[in-house]
């Protein structure tokens, strides 16, 4: 089978948004290749093995590829992508060169080739991420294994922001906590939270493909009874309306509510079971900084007093932006952790 391969040369900072643009333009899969230069500093405190091929991508840059069915009109796809990528500059996200090209390739050239680089990865003292097709024996009885099959739709869980969030969850889960995972993607943070001892997790995502992926990975880890996956955003869950007319509304449909609305325990406004009772003890969100700052008030309302908010997906130049938003919403910043060019916050509800 033939596919059209779109290649975009951009920055690590813009890779999440551009990946989303590719999917919205109809991509059947997306791959991201970051800098693999010899001098790139890696966090190996937990014995991580970075089994990645070296490349000549400059540090801080990334090459993103999207794959479209042979029948798709690529002139229309390029016409849609080009202005959206350039528009990121208006939101303070640097897309770098933003060079876009495309060619036709055979499916076997990309559909499975990436799997050879995804190996078991120890991301914290107790957690190891393992692809389903790899054999792995835990090094100790305390080591917990996250089984994951990301397919082509989501990352392998080895991105620095995922590791930062999992380590923060490990520090803050003591046993039995109810957790909400906002923007769950493959569901890896929800699974990690349960393996660390959480009582139950509600995993939310607006993308139906993400919801499907998360459901599959939850099942792989036999956690269907403990993790509830919903196609929703946090504001809708709390009973508000999606606010698509905000400055970043085109990128994410949730913003701060215009009026106070009551928290609905155990069920959402549609009457569906959530698997948790609001407010909860922990909220985790691994999404872009520009999106994080839009719903810090929502997170505050979704947490019990003394509750913990863990968030990453934050590029280093957006650290101040997120810090200000968290403080303005009433949070106390407990810890800031960093890996490579990425930042994570752990904040407490006063």
- Exposed, middle or buried by CB within 10 Å (0-12, 13-18, 19+), for 57? middle
Mean pLDDT of the chain: 82
Q: How confident is the model over 335-345, as pLDDT tens digits?
A: 999 998 899 99
Q: For the residues 51-56, what does the mean pLDDT come to? A: 53
pLDDT reading at 232 higher than 90: no
pLDDT of residue 112: 64
pLDDT of residue 156: 61
* 279 conformational bin, left if phi > 0, alpha if psi -120 to 50, beta if neither: beta
User: Comparing 92-96, 178-182, 220-224, 268-272, which segment has the lowest mean pLDDT?
Assistant: 268-272
User: Comparing 26-40, 211-225, 331-345, which segment has the lowest mean pLDDT?
Assistant: 26-40
Q: How confident is the model over 308-335, as pLDDT tens digits?
A: 999 998 988 899 999 999 999 999 999 9
User: Comparing 54-63, 92-101, 211-220, which segment has the lowest mean pLDDT?
Assistant: 54-63
Q: How confident is the model over 253-267, as pLDDT tens digits?
A: 332 222 233 344 454
The pair of structure tokens assigned to 304 is 């019990």
Highest mean pLDDT among 16-20, 100-104, 274-278: 100-104
The pair of structure tokens assigned to 211 is 């919801």
Nearest of 67, 75, 73 to residue 109 by alpha carbon: 67
Q: What is the dihedral of CA 317, 323, 324, 330, to 10 degrees?
A: 170
Quote the percentage of the chain above a pLDDT of 70: 79
Rg (CA), the chain: 20
Q: Could you give the CA distance from residue 200 to residue 172 in angstroms, rounded to a whole number?
A: 15
pLDDT reading at 94 higher than 50: yes
- Exposed, middle or buried by CB within 10 Å (0-12, 13-18, 19+), for 208? exposed
pLDDT of residue 207: 80
CA-based max dimension of the chain:
56
- Measured N-to-C along each axis, helices 160-172 and 188-195 cross at an angle, to the nearest 10 degrees, of 30
What is the 3 state secondary structure string of the chain? CEEEEEEEEEECCCHHHHHHHHHHCCCCEEEEEECCCCCCCCCCCCCCCCCCCCCCCCCCEEEEEEEEECCCCHHHHHHHHHHHHHHHHHHCCCCCCCEEEEEEEEHHHCCCHHHHHCCCEECCCCEEEEECCCCCCCCCCCCEEEEECCCCCCCCCCCHHHHHHHHHHHHHCCCCCEEEEECCCCCHHHHHHHHCCCCEEEEEECCHHHHHHHHHHHHHCCCCCCEEEEECCHHHHCCCCCCCCCCCCCCCCCCCCCCCCCCCCCECCCCCECCCCCCEEEEEEECCHHHHCCCHHHHHHHEEEEEEEEEEEEEHHHHHHHHHHHHHCCEEEEEEEEECCEEEEEEEEC
pLDDT of residue 5: 92
Q: For the residues 76-101, what does the mean pLDDT come to? A: 94
pLDDT reading at 48 higher than 50: no
Q: For the residues 184-192, what does the mean pLDDT come to? A: 92
Q: pLDDT band at 303, cuts 50/70/90?
A: very high
User: Comparing 39-43, 233-237, 294-298, which segment has the lowest mean pLDDT?
Assistant: 39-43
pLDDT reading at 32 higher than 50: yes
pLDDT of residue 34: 77
pLDDT reading at 136 higher than 50: yes
Q: What is the dihedral of CA 287, 289, 290, 292, to 10 degrees?
A: 60
Quote the percentage of the chain above a pLDDT of 90: 50
Supply φ then ψ for residue 15, to 5 degrees: -65, -35
Q: For the residues 87-97, what does the mean pLDDT come to? A: 92
Q: pLDDT band at 38, cuts 50/70/90?
A: very low
Q: pLDDT band at 57, cuts 50/70/90?
A: confident
Q: Could you give the CA distance from residue 302 to residue 323 in angstroms, rounded to a whole number?
A: 19
pLDDT reading at 186 higher than 90: no
Q: How confident is the model over 112-130, as pLDDT tens digits?
A: 666 666 788 889 999 999 9
């Amino acid at each position: 089978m033939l596919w059209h391969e779109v290649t975009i040369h951009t920055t690590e900072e813009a890779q999440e948004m551009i990946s989303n643009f590719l999917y919205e333009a109809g991509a059947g899969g997306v791959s991201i290749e970051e800098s693999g230069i010899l001098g790139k500093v890696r966090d190996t405190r937990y014995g991580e093995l970075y089994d990645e091929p070296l490349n000549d991508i400059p540090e801080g840059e990334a090459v993103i590829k999207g794959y479209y069915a042979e029948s798709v009109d690529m002139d229309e796809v390029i016409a849609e992508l080009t202005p959206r990528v350039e528009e990121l500059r208006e939101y303070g996200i640097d897309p770098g060169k933003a060079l876009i090209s495309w060619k036709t390739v055979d499916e076997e050239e990309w559909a499975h080739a990436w799997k050879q680089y995804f190996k078991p990865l120890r991301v914290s003292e107790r957690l190891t991420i393992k692809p389903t097709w790899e054999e792995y024996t835990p090094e100790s009885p305390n080591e917990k294994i996250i089984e994951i099959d990301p397919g082509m739709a989501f990352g392998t869980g080895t991105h620095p922001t995922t590791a930062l969030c999992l380590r923060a969850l490990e520090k803050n889960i003591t046993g039995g906590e109810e957790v909400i995972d906002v923007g769950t993607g493959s569901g890896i943070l929800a699974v990690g939270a349960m393996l660390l001892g959480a009582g139950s997790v509600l995993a939310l995502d607006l993308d139906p493909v993400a919801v499907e992926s998360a459901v599959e990975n939850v099942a792989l880890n036999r956690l269907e009874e403990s993790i509830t996956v919903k196609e929703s955003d946090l504001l809708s869950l709390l009973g508000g309306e999606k606010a698509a007319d905000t400055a970043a509304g085109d990128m994410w449909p949730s913003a701060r509510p215009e009026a106070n609305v009551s928290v609905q325990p155990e069920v959402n406004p549609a009457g569906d079971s959530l698997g948790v009772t609001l407010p909860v003890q922990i909220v985790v969100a691994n999404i872009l900084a520009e999106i994080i700052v839009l719903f810090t008030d929502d997170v505050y309302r979704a947490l019990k007093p003394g509750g913990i908010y863990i968030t990453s997906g934050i590029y280093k130049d957006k650290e101040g932006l997120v810090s200000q938003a968290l403080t303005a919403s009433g949070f106390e910043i407990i810890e800031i952790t960093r890996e490579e060019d990425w930042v994570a916050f752990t904040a407490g509800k006063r």
